Structure 1
């Protein structure tokens, strides 16, 4: 006897077949058939307080696991609420899958006042995701979902939106075996040409981006041969930043730009070298090798003399000579001097936290000064650390839900949120989610009274500061009202002690440090 199920079962069965253990989202009128099958599937559903929070949580989940993060929304406002989070995943090449209902078959673009009707929902999502796919029958779902997961490992990993018509979700479906994504062998790359370039070089430099994480062991082996490694923010921690040839994640600094031009061979791995990485352009280096799974990256922002399209791990599997490193100390000194000029109050915050927290702590930052002036430059990462930061899209509100996603993914690992008050207020409602889940999350909010960076830019341009000095609620009291813990830090020096204690609490702890925004 065939079990009577609906199209919602085809979605859930396919997620299970592809190893999904958690999904983030909010139920709504049009996606309820998915929720019918979640309880028996073994997939844990995390309900957030806003779909944008679900998207950021899925993004943080994906970054720490290396797999896909999945979010489920309803149609119309549900999925459009998640668009900023999906655009963030797109900018930073993070594999997230957003599943939403869509108009019934034959109803797209009819403008008949259907509940949650959008002029072109699929088009809106296709504009911010790698692609938006609409199925027309439940029988398509197993193969389509398997292909999406296969694409996350064989192509540049970017978010995908799957739209399932409401009548497909709610219609009957004859259950059949789900399909798991197959493994795709990477194409062979010209390793000999890369090795030959290293053999001829005297001052090589590796620039490691977020796409280089799969080749971390190979990059560390080259570092052991004396090859200096400079990372983007998304590549931070690929090499231990206390390594004698590590140049940190300070690629935006003028001194790092000079290093790139002084090297006689620059090997850029898994990075687009965009404005969000460099905070401006860089001059063409002497010789450039670009290694990336995306062929469109070979000449983007820095022209490649040799472009390698393929798997970075395979491309860097060679041994090379031992390089002279006497010049590296001068490179490090110049970069450190640049970073210290931006240190402000940020360095002391990082030093306090880094000294007190475990070496494998995940730091969920935000587009906040405490992250891009602070954590990036003044928290020396081991290879076990991880920074979650919305580099490319530079969104506000990422840090708190991303921390939740990371903690759900790896509950035994220490996770901390660290961001400014302006960023916190975009998604502060997700503190309710963290409290409901009883997550032992330290959430450190550095309160400088509003949008201090934008205030500084207004002053620099001769504009009277406006809309940047914000009314400040009592954030620790707000946290306590929610049911979390809330404390005020008297100084940066005690942050580490407070955050360390919060790692073993029975719920999240919001720790506020108030600083003078005019001096930040």
Structure 2
């Protein structure tokens, strides 16, 4: 035990849990944390907005496999980060947001205190796995350990830690507490045996893989090969099975070819996916009586479809146990033939669906190395174009805001990914609407000197919503904008830049940007984009 301030105890606890990087913005109320961060050995990255800090921590977590940490101040700063917390919850990403709170003896009805929020902890508890508020310095080490337990034991989720301002400043006795080592556990033996019996007898198995399998890539590949199962993924599972693998169908569970394959299957093995509407688009898959499900979360094992057999356990450990229990030899050529047939149909569908964006995606595919990471935004070029058409080969190589569907995610997530894996080629892919939500993070990327291509595909506003208005026969209203000079903005904060009048030349621009000593804004104008709004058509 030693006598420390609350801020010192917070930083010591982060160090004890192996935190090497935090993304944050100092403010009046969190200076006691920053005082000790400065000498802690933890790297600090300064985004320009708290939403950017949260998304960068998310990108860091998805890329590194470790919790991302954001440190913000109270009130408006914390609420600025709330969209990122909601996205991390939706995509099961371990993000810890640390903030001050109002003093312990603050009057309940408020008195106009700086950054006063009526109940910021309740706001965060509504969108995170938990909001933990401590009441003494001595509680801080245990609270941080609890936060890491919530983020890493079972289904990963974001957590908010609130330390009242007076507790941050006061002194007390505290010693860091480390989590006991935990071995990932497989599902119970009876469930594994039941699943192995079904899968071992299957003639037409299919494997569906989600983000919960990111840490089980080797086991997923072995399972697919052992079963002879064509394998499709969700957006967050993209790359878990390299998309040049003979059994890989890639991402795009919503496409008719994947639905047809599932309808023909006698057993469907789903690993680490909630089979969410945001991945399926066209409604639930027909899985009654044929679904074997692996999920670390008992609730997740029941989400959106009831399994015939539920395997509740760590994906990697459970697949190892399942492989050991499966009878018989590995299947031969027919498995690859089934996959190839489905892949051909699926590729035709995905390229038709993403036709407007194919030239952009194909240029990117030409430029990006096999180990590249794409941080995508909620943009048409990403979900119609890149999701099912841009090949990836490693887990966590397609960072995308599924479910919650925030705009502005791609750029700060790319910063977080590049900080987590400096040797990996990283590209941010956004629309002109989305980048405006976190445009300030160009300055963050420039300050860090990141060789980061920031590809802005400009269709003059909110293209998806514009199309929905047209489909509804509504007036086209409030969705078409004149774009700023993104290259000039980038240069103003220290980036390089190039403007392209269409996709031609994008591959060369991205290659040059990956070799540069700073970020490069690649402003790609779509020649057919509208310039004015009008009545419904």
TM range (shorter): over 0.9
SS in 1 for 2:62: helix
Q: CA deviation at 1:517?
A: 5.3
1:361 and 1:384 in contact (8 A); partners too = no
Task: Return 498-507 or 120-129, whichever deviates more.
Answer: 498-507
The equivalent residue for 1:183 is 181
Q: CA deviation at 1:385?
A: 6.9
User: Root-mean-square deviation (CA), in Å?
Assistant: 1.6
2:186 and 2:315 in contact (8 A); partners too = no
2:63 and 2:396 in contact (8 A); partners too = no
2:297 and 2:312 in contact (8 A); partners too = yes
The equivalent residue for 2:89 is 90
SS in 1 for 2:275: coil
Alpha carbons of 1:281 and 1:384: their partners in 2 closer, same or farther (altered >3 Å)?
A: closer
The equivalent residue for 2:374 is 363
Per-residue displacement from partner, 1:99-141 (whole Å, max 9, x unpaired)? Answer: 0001111326331211111111110000010110101011111
Following the alignment from structure 1 to structure 2, what is the Cα–Cα distance between the partners of residues 188 and 231?
Answer: 22
SS in 1 for 2:475: coil
Per-residue displacement from partner, 1:426-470 (whole Å, max 9, x unpaired)? Answer: 100110111111111110111111111111110000001111111
The equivalent residue for 2:453 is 442
How does 1:219-368 map onto structure 2 within 5 Å? 219-225=220-226, 226-285=228-287, 286-317=289-320, 318=323, 320=326, 321-323=329-331, 324-325=334-335, 326-368=337-379
How does 1:82-121 map onto structure 2 within 5 Å? 82-107=81-106, 109-121=108-120
Alpha carbons of 1:337 and 1:171: their partners in 2 closer, same or farther (altered >3 Å)?
A: same
Gaps (5+ residues) in structure 1? none
Following the alignment from structure 1 to structure 2, what is the Cα–Cα distance between the partners of residues 106 and 280?
Answer: 52
Per-residue displacement from partner, 1:381-401 (whole Å, max 9, x unpaired)? Answer: 123670110011111000000
- Return structure 1 stretches of 4+ with deviation > 4 angstroms: none
Q: CA deviation at 1:261?
A: 1.7
Q: CA deviation at 1:310?
A: 1.0
Q: CA deviation at 1:283?
A: 3.9
2:251 and 2:387 in contact (8 A); partners too = yes
Gaps (5+ residues) in structure 2? 531-537
Following the alignment from structure 1 to structure 2, what is the Cα–Cα distance between the partners of residues 136 and 517?
Answer: 58
1:452 and 1:517 in contact (8 A); partners too = no
Determine which of 488, 491, 501 is the counterpart of 2:499.
488
Q: CA deviation at 1:377?
A: 1.3
Following the alignment from structure 2 to structure 1, what is the Cα–Cα distance between the partners of residues 528 and 126?
Answer: 37
Q: CA deviation at 1:475?
A: 0.8
1:358 and 1:414 in contact (8 A); partners too = yes
Following the alignment from structure 2 to structure 1, what is the Cα–Cα distance between the partners of residues 200 and 4?
Answer: 62
Q: CA deviation at 1:343?
A: 2.3
Alpha carbons of 1:97 and 1:108: their partners in 2 closer, same or farther (altered >3 Å)?
A: farther
Aligned length: 517
The equivalent residue for 1:395 is 406
How does 1:105-144 map onto structure 2 within 5 Å? 105-107=104-106, 109-144=108-143
Following the alignment from structure 2 to structure 1, what is the Cα–Cα distance between the partners of residues 118 and 482?
Answer: 37
Following the alignment from structure 1 to structure 2, what is the Cα–Cα distance between the partners of residues 17 and 298?
Answer: 33
1:364 and 1:418 in contact (8 A); partners too = yes
Alpha carbons of 1:108 and 1:340: their partners in 2 closer, same or farther (altered >3 Å)?
A: farther
TM value normalised by structure 1? 0.96
